Structure 1
């Protein structure tokens, strides 16, 4: 059965690099993205070789098992081609490429993947990453040592753990089969897109529902607007749905679309171990991916452990500094309160306090300075009420002056306001008219 759907492929050098090492393929049943590595020429050659071997898979298959077997065999053959290319051209030593491919078989997508290019599925208004990056940083994410957000900016995010290269005759691809439905939209892309445009914006572009070609253009524009430090390749595949079946021949983009007999320029110097462990901004013609040997990985792991320790120390130092600032501010605030005074009351007498009339939980911000001995019972009602509500003072001397005035009034005799009785006249005992 022929796959029914529409697709588009697009590739761009980006804003920093001087050549395009990506390749992409969009055909009748086969869809591929390959991101080359290995210097100015090696990446071009590697991704072109991979696409060249994959092209022959673009036909119908009786079963998904047959498609899987064909995909694995083509990847193994491509690895052999890379090994021969490196032997024939020593300047290409170390070349390699990522490979993410889909073969549509009836209602199923047969997927093969190695490296850090990605395959996404947009279904029911949700974008899902289908493939897992074969990178050093992804291992850190999987082990819970860093978050996905930290992985986006990790200095080792381009170190590949698995790749199609001239160092492995039997590449270990992730191979699996997924059912696909009418209305599904599949996205294959190099990290030039996924490393710049986050999933929320990719999903937003998918949600608009434009045809694959216009959607791919939209995603490319977002990558370019974000700086596009690497090559950007996008392949979009719609399953059934609103867009009609594309007609014509397969579309090949990127390095694989150029003639293969172009003279190979002198390679850029390969980065040393020191450069890998302490990278600076890469030149436009230097590789963005590395496949380190075991010794390099050991050092990368040790370095990441050191980074983790430094990060923890930094967090602890920042926490301690924050606590010290809070403690210092609290101490200064407390010291200020101890310059304040007020007149208040204890159970039965007038007392001078130092501090303010508040508490911080169980901690009182005032202390008793002097019990004046003036009894509350000896005060007039309005004076007693004022003392119980507390009377603020500017200083200890001011507080003492307030209590002296209270003491002066405390024992003063109250005015006699008892009414004088009217005298009764003597005589007949009758009231005087």
Structure 2
């Protein structure tokens, strides 16, 4: 709902399922994910080897896609710097042959509990793994868009994570771009998957949830469920999605009602944040050193700001106390020390151990010589705005007493 083009691509075949999230801006992200997806989709077919062998086949297909992207940049230099993530697997009997690079993710819902399977190849994930920041801090870190590994023209032989995964009947496997997991919390994803009536319904609900958060990034979702028996392939045509699709593909029920409502609105439900483009950073150690130096500078600035702020607060409090005390010393009241009538300077209250009043004049008028009403007034004290006003009060008391 923010981007003008779709840089995501996806494929759901007979045995191969994948998601790719392009990077490189308007000029290259959609091209990168589409080329990689179409190249790797050629690997879709019934596996003939073991799960481990199939994993190696998928890894080589991913590297072939990387070469395709490099060759494309050679022919079209304006696409330099484009790249894409890749997360996908091939089903082999009751196993999954997984390959992964970038920050698109694979989740598993098993026994109604959601678990993230892949590890993001991002700079913030490296900081989390090293204990420098927490998972919560990673979500708002200013470098969260920096990728450490991608497919593209940046690395001739990128490192691709591979793994063989066990499956059980009832497992639901979720492939998604960070347009979903970057804005929808895992507990919300789990809740939608647990309450699903169908896989397609869950896909629609997950995308609707991202739209409800403003959908600041492209969002792509692929769901695969493990069945007890081999599943008959009803639709022999593989499904491409996003920029890899040659044309919009009709879907049963079309777009969900909730999505229609959101897409037809002039503004998203929530104000969408500005999305920083993902970018690749190959100089990991140099980049880490640069970021550490930047963090030190930022922390130093924060400490200085904190110190100046604390000083400003202390000065403000001290000023308020000084001028407040000065004001109290401009006030007077007539009272008693228990024996005689006294004119006090200040106010009756004390500030902790600090007395806010002192004797200005001892009138020498014995308290016992006053009648009952005057004595009570003096004991309760009589306020005055100046020393002259206080003396006038004393004179009136003295006159009455005479």
1:16 aligns with 2:16: no
The correspondence for 2:62, drawn from 75, 85, 91, is: 75
Measure, in 2, the Cα distance between the counterparts of 1:324 and 1:109.
66
Match of 2:390 in 1: 399
Give the structure-2-normalised TM-score.
0.70
Deviations 1:289-311 (A, max 9, x none): 32234298365665555445445
Structure 1 residues not aligned, in runs of 5+: 1-13, 260-280, 413-433
Residues 239-279 of structure 1: per-residue CA shift (max 9 Å, x gap):
569xx9984244321233239xxxxxxxxxxxxxxxxxxxx
Q: Secondary structure at the match of 1:33?
A: strand
Matching of residues 24-423 of structure 1 within 5 Å = 24-27=10-13, 30-38=16-24, 40=26, 42-51=28-37, 52-53=39-40, 56=43, 59=46, 65-66=52-53, 68-87=55-74, 89-103=76-90, 111-122=98-109, 129-140=116-127, 151-152=138-139, 155-175=142-162, 185-199=172-186, 202=189, 205-206=192-193, 208-224=195-211, 226-239=213-226, 247-249=234-236, 250-258=238-246, 288-294=277-283, 297=287, 302-303=293-294, 305-346=296-337, 348-376=339-367, 384-406=375-397
- Alpha-carbon separation, structure 1, partners of 2:302 and 2:18: 39
Kindly indicate whether the alpha-carbon contact (under 8 Å) linking 2:16 and 2:43 is maintained by their aligned counterparts in 1.
no
Cα distance in 2 for partners of 1:187, 1:30 equals 13
**C-alpha distance in 2 between matches for 1:50 and 1:186:** 21
TM superposition shift of 1:50 = 3.4
Point out where structure 2 has 5 or more consecutive residues left out of the alignment.
248-273
What TM-score do the two structures reach when normalised by structure 1?
0.66
What residue in structure 2 maps to residue 263 of structure 1? Answer: none
Structure with higher RCO (Cα < 8 A, 6+ apart): 1
Is residue 108–residue 114 contact of structure 2 (8 Å, CA) maintained in 1? yes
Judge conservation of contact 2:18–2:175 (CA < 8 Å) in 1: yes
Matched positions, count: 370
Deviation at 1:406, TM superposition (A): 4.9
Contact 2:43 2:58 in 1 (8 A): no
Distance 1:400 1:289, change over 3 A: same
